[in-house]
Chains A and B, each alone.
Chain A
Amino acid sequence: MTKSSFSNIQSEYLAVIDHNKCVRCKRCIQNCGWGTYSFGGDKILADHSKCVACGRCYTYCPEGAISIIKNPTVIRENANWQEPLVKNIWRQSETGGIVISGMGTTFKYKKYFDHILLDACQVTNPSIDPLREPMELRTFLGKKPSKLDFDFDEKGEPVLKTKMPPQIELQTPFVFGAMSYGSISLNAQKAMALAARALGIVMNTGEGGLHDDLVPFGKNIIVQVASGRFGVHRDYLNSGVAVEIKIGQGAKPGIGGHLPGEKIGIDISRTRMIPVGTDAISPAPHHDIYSIEDLRQLIYAIKEATDYEKPVSVKVAAVHNIAAIVSGIVRAGADIVYIDGYSGGTGAAPIVIRDHVGIPIELALAQVDERLREEGIRNEASIIAAGSIRSSADAVKAIALGADAVAIGTAALIVMGCHVCGKCNTGNCSWGITTQRPELVRRLDPEVYGERLYNLISAWSHEIQEVLGAMGVNSIESLRGSRERLRGIELSDAELKALGIKHAGL
C-alpha cells in the first residue's frame, strides 16, 4: 500500500521561541532528544510536530526564551469523540499498528488515595513529637513465622529457637520499583543504586540483568527473573538481597515486553546475555508457568539456587481476582508479594492495555490484606504496594490499608527530570533516563540525581514520621494495616466496603 504524504495528526505542542530574547547559543538544539530544533542560519527553527513537552529545552535555555504551549488549534470539542480517540484513529489508520506509549495511564480514573483521610490524636491520647522522640520506620520484608519458640540457657534466659526466614531490612518503607537496564539507562539505575545504599533501602533490576557496575551494590538490590529470563544465571540470583519473579506489571497486565534490537548495544547485550542487535522479547506468560503449581516450582528452584538465603518475591499486576491470586502465590511459597496497580508506569505498553486493564492498587491492596488475614496467612508474606505512589501521603495510606512497604518508579524518574511525557518507548528521552543514546545518557549524572533521590525519600520519610506522631504512634508497625485510622470521603458504600474503611464522621 502506498503511504499518503500527509498526516491528519497535528502537533500537540508548540515550541515557541522569543527571538528577541534568544542569543542563538543553540543549547536547545543540543538538549532536545527529539530533534525539534535546528538552526536556520540566523535563528533557531522549531519543528513543532516533534515536540513532546518534555521540558528539557526551556529548563536549559539560559535566556528563558522558550515557551512550550499546547497547540491552540482545536479539534472540534466533543465529549464523546475526544481528541485522543480521534488522533488514535488517525494514527492507526496511517500505520495499521497498535498504539504504544510509555508511563502509566493518562485516563482520569478515580484516585482512591485522594478520597481517604487520616486520623490524628486530640486530648484523649497524646500526639508524639518526632523531633523529640524516636519514630521508627524500620521495616523487614519476608516471611514471618506465626509464632516464635524459645530455648533457655543455663541462666534461664530465653534464646531464640525458631530459625527466622531471610528478611530484607529497610530503614524506611520504600523500595524503588523494577526498571530494567534497557528500558532505562545505566546512569538512571546507578542513581537509584547510590540512593538505595545511602538510604538503607533497595532498588530492583527489572528484567534486564545486572550490569557489572552495579554488582557492588548487591546489598541494596533485588534481582528480577521475568519471562524472557534475560541476564539470569546463578551468580545473578545470588548477587542481590532477594529475587523477584515478575509475572505482571500494573501498566500492562497479561502481556510481555519488547526491547527493540536497535537498543541492544554491546553493554546491554552482555548484561542481558543476548546477541547485539537482537530484539529482547519477554513473552506474555512465563512458558514454564501455566498454573500456580508451576509458580511454586520456580519459587523453589530459585530458593534452591540461593540456598534458602534470599526471600523470593512475586510481582503481579492488580487484576479483578487479585485477592485469590495473591493467596495462591503466598501458599505457593512466595516471601514477598509485589502488587502493581493499574496506574503504574511502564517503558512501553499498548494503550488499549494500559488504559483499560487492571484495578486500582488501593482496592487490590485492601482486598488482599483482608483475604490473607481471613485465611490466617498474612504473616507468610510481606506486601509491597505500587502503582503510582505520588507522595508520602499515598505511602501512609497504602501502609494503613495493609502494605508493608511501597514501591516508587515514576516518582523516582520525575526526580531525574522526567516530565511524564509518556514517550519512554521511543528511546529519545532528553533527560537521559529512558534512552540508550550515549550523548543523552551522559547528561544524567548518577551522583547528582542519587542525592536528589536520597533527598526525596528522606523528605517523605520525615513526613511519615510527622503523620505517625500526629496519630500518637511511634512505630510504623502500629500503622500497618490499621484501617481504623483511615476514613473515606465522597465514596459509595461499595467502595468503602472494598477498602474496608468507614466514611468520615463515623
Chain B
Amino acid sequence: MLKIKNKFNTERDISGCGLCGIINAKKVKTNGSDIKKAISVEHDRGNGLGGGFAVYGNYPDYADIYAFHIMYDNLSAKTDVEEYLRNNFIVEKEEPIPTFKTSKIYDHPYLHRYFIKPKSDRQDKLFHELEDDDFVVNSVMLINQNYDGAYVFSSGKNMGAFKGVGYPEDVADFYRLEEIEGYMWTAHNRFPTNTPGWWGGAHPFTLLDWSIVHNGEISSYGINKRYLEMYKYNLALRTDTEVITYILDLLIRKHKIPVRLALTVLASPFYQKIDKMENDKKKLFTALRQVYGSALLNGPFAIVFGYSGGMVAMNDRIKLRPLVAASNGDFTYVASEEAAIRAVCQSPDMVWSPKAGDPVMVEFDDIKEKASLKGGLLSL
C-alpha cells in the first residue's frame, strides 16, 4: 500500500527537515537542475522518506485555470474523482504526470494532472454561491477527505507540486525536473520522526497558489488546529505544514491582511517589543495578538512559502531552526544551510542570516509595480 493519506494512529505527523528556495524577481525562468543541486547538498537533513518541489510559471499555456495534481492508490478512486471533476469543472486537459523510472523510486501511486476551471452551473449546490477560489478549496478538501485512495496535492494556477517518498534528488529525477522551467522553485528534504514513507505527507504542501515547505514542529499545533476548525478548515492531513498553509489562506486570502502583517501573526513580536512601539503601531500589534493569538505558530520552524506574488522565508519568533538567505542580481536564494546556496551560486552579492521572526520577502517586479500604484508594499 502506498499510503497517500495518513492512516497512522497519530494526531499528526512531525518531522525535521531541510529546505531551499530560489526566486527570480524578473520572472526569468530556470529549469529544475539548480534547485535539485541545492537540495541535494542537504541530503543528510532527510532520511529518504520524503522529498518534493514546487515550481511557479511551469504551465504558461494554462496560466488562467487551475492545475490539479492528484495521486491515486487505485484506479477506482480515479474513476470516482474524475466523475466529481467532470460534474463540477470544465476539464480542458488531463494527462498522467510524466514520470521516469529511476532505480531509487520503485513504488509510486498513479499520478495524474488536470487543467480545469469550475463550471458556472456546477452541480454541487452546497457550494453554489462560492467564488471560484473558495469552490476549489472546498473541492480539494472534499476529495482529500471523502474519496478514499485519492489525494489532491496541487491545485494552483500556473504552478505545481512534485513530490514523493525518497530523497529529493531522486524525486527530482523521477519527475525529471531539469525538463521543467519556472521562475520560482522551492524544495524540501524530509526527516519524519513518527511515520514511515507516505506520499501525501511529503512537502511542499499546497492549496491554490500557496505552497509551503517547512522544517520544524509546531508546538502550538493543538490550538492552531482548533482555531482553523472554527473557520471550517478540515485538517485531514494532520501535519504542521497543513496548519501553516491554512492559516496563511485564512489571514491573507480570507481576512485580507497584508502579507507582511500576516507574517507577524505567525511569529508575533513579544509584548516587551510591542510595549515600546509608538501609539498607533502598538495598538495595531496588540490587536493582532488579541485577535489572532490562536494563530501564532509557537515552537521551532523555518518555512519557505511561495504564492503568485512572490516568496517568503521566515523563522519562528526565537529562531529555533536554521535559515540562511542570499541575493545575487535578480535572484534570491534561501536554504537551511549556506552550503546549499553556494552550491548553485558560488559568490552571491549578499548572504545573511534572517533574524528570528523577521521574514525575507521577495516580490516579483511586476507585482511590486502594481502594488506601488495602490499604496506601498504592504497593501498587497
Q: Which residues of chain A have a CB within 8 Å of any CB of chain B? A: 121, 123-126, 128, 133-134, 136, 138, 140, 144-150, 152, 155-160, 162, 164, 167, 373, 376, 378-379, 400, 471-475, 477-485, 502, 506
Contact = CB atoms under 8 A, between A and B. Distances in A.
Interface in B223-254: 223, 225-227, 229-231, 254
Contacts of A134: 270, 272
B219 A373 contact: no
Contact of A482 (B193, B220, B255, B287): B220
Interface string B293-334: 110101110000000000000000110100000000000000
26 contacts: A125-B217, A128-B318, A134-B272, A144-B290, A145-B291, A146-B291, A147-B254, A150-B257, A152-B375, A152-B379, A156-B376, A158-B261, A158-B378, A160-B283, A376-B231, A474-B317, A475-B268, A475-B298, A477-B296, A478-B219, A478-B298, A479-B220, A480-B223, A483-B226, A484-B221, A484-B225
B294 A481 contact: yes
Contacts of A148: 255, 257, 287-288, 291-292
B284 interface: yes
A160 B287 contact: yes
B271 interface: yes
Nearest to A134: B270
A160 B296 CA distance: 19
A373 B299 CA distance: 24
Contacts of A482: 220-223, 226
Interface in B352-380: 375-379
From A121, A126, A478, residue with most partner B Cβ within 10 Å: A478
Given A156-B375, A162-B287, A484-B221, A150 B317 contact: no
B284 A167 contact: no
B9 A506 contact: yes
Interface residues of B, number: 52
Interface of B: 9, 11, 14-16, 193, 216-217, 219-223, 225-227, 229-231, 254-258, 261, 268, 270-272, 280, 283-284, 287-294, 296, 298-300, 317-318, 320, 375-379
B319 to A, nearest CB: 11
- What is the predominant secondary structure among interface residues of chain A facing chain B? loop
Nearest to B288: A148
A474 B318 contact: yes
A125 B299 contact: yes
B258 A150 contact: yes
Given A148-B291, A164-B290, A472 B379 contact: no
Contact of A485 (B222, B255, B272, B320): B222
A330 to B, nearest CB: 13
A482 B296 CA distance: 12
B291 A379 contact: yes
A126 B216 CA distance: 10
Contacts of B377: 156
Nearest to A379: B291
A149 B256 CA distance: 8
B378 A157 contact: yes
B300 A158 contact: no
A124 to B, nearest CB: 5
A133 B219 contact: no
Contact of B318 (A133, A145, A485): A133
Contacts of B223: 477-482
Given A152-B375, A473-B220, 20 more contacts: A125-B216, A125-B219, A136-B271, A138-B271, A148-B291, A150-B261, A150-B284, A152-B376, A152-B378, A156-B377, A164-B287, A471-B219, A472-B298, A472-B299, A474-B317, A474-B318, A478-B296, A484-B225, A502-B11, A506-B9
A125 B375 contact: no
